[in-house]
Amino acid sequence: RTETEGQKLEYEQLLDIRVHLEKEIETYCRLIDGDRNSCSKSKGFESGSPGNSSKDLSRTTLVKTVVEEIDQRGKVLSSRVQSIEEKTSKMTNGKSEQRVPF
């Protein structure tokens, strides 16, 4: 019984940590994307039947770089955001991988 209570306590602690991290990620997404909501939560694994056919999988990654000029007192003098999109194509048979910057 004591072991079960310990597991329950550990589970609740991990759940609290997960909720905290999800809120923190949501906050960062809002700071980066503003109100556009382009930052989405992970939807887990997609189900599908494994087979021998190769499929073309592609992913687009948006990299945002924030550059701030700050004076000696910590005051922000200027700020700019640079966005770069990268499209990655990959064949599931593992023979072809291609990175194409936009």
Summarize pLDDT for 41-75 with one digit per residue, the tens: 544 434 444 444 555 567 778 888 888 888 888 88
Torsion, Cα 23 28 32 35, to 10 degrees, reads 20
pTM here is: 0.35
**16 sits in which H/E element:** helix 2-33
Please, which pLDDT band fits residue 27 given cuts at 50, 70 and 90?
Answer: confident
